[in-house]
Chain A
Amino acid sequence: EAQVTQNPRYLITVTGKKLTVTCSQNMNHEYMSWYRQDPGLGLRQIYYSMNVEVTDKGDVPEGYKVSRKEKRNFPLILESPSPNQTSLYFCASSLTGLGNQPQHFGDGTRLSIL
């Protein structure tokens, strides 16, 4: 089954404790992206990757890191999480980054930073 898998689905942690949210897709997609969803703000892009070893900032990259060492994986790293990063996070992928294909989304990761 074609899918985007995120782990963990839920995480409660404390300020300053490094964490990683993993994302993996099995569709051989070139393009992958991370979004955060906050009430009243919709989805905002954090980082995206057009292909392996190519990453770029989205609209809200501060406080986040990403890497794309393999085509299927695109982890999101919070090196020193803060309470304002409490949010619902989504990973997505599409065949290419041309913008004319739909994105496939994971089921989300709900992060609470205390």
Chain B
Amino acid sequence: AQSVAQPEDQVNVAEGNPLTVKCTYSVSGNPYLFWYVQYPNRGLQFLLKYITGDNLVKGSYGFEAEFNKSQTSFHLKKPSALVSDSALYFCAVRALDDKIIFGKGTRLHILP
């Protein structure tokens, strides 16, 4: 079955420390992968995507993600966390039938 997993419901990081939000996927064929962020009372906002090419993808607000085909992972990273990065983060993947499957989300808390 095609799926996306975000193994952590919540991640806590001290401000200024590096952060990682994990995502693994299971789809047939070459995956298209996305990260979105959701702030309170708002819709999801696009952060970055991997379609093809360089495995390290850079996106908005200083975020980046690394595509790892052998581990079927697409972890979101940032070198130095800000309190304003606190939000709900979703990983998504395009499935074989062109549908987009979303993970269940990871709540990121950046502690001042």
Contacts and interface: CB of A to CB of B under 8 A. Distances in A.
A36 to B, nearest CB: 11
Contacts of B43: 4, 90, 92, 105-108
A45 interface: yes
Interface in B47-104: 49, 51, 90, 94, 98-100, 102-104
Q: How large is the interface on B (under 10, 10 to 19, 20 to 34, 35 or more residues)?
A: 20 to 34
A98 interface: yes
A103 interface: yes
Interface string A23-59: 0000000000101000011111100100000000010
A18 B103 CA distance: 31
Given A99-B32, A100-B32, A45 B51 contact: no
B101 to A, nearest CB: 8
A41 to B, nearest CB: 6
A97 interface: yes
A58 B46 CA distance: 21
Interface in A79-114: 90, 92, 97-100, 102-108
Contacts of A45: 99-100
Interface of B: 32, 34, 36, 41-46, 49, 51, 90, 94, 98-100, 102-105
20 contacts: A33-B100, A40-B104, A41-B104, A42-B104, A43-B44, A43-B90, A43-B102, A44-B102, A45-B100, A48-B99, A92-B43, A98-B98, A99-B99, A100-B49, A102-B49, A104-B46, A105-B44, A107-B42, A108-B41, A108-B43
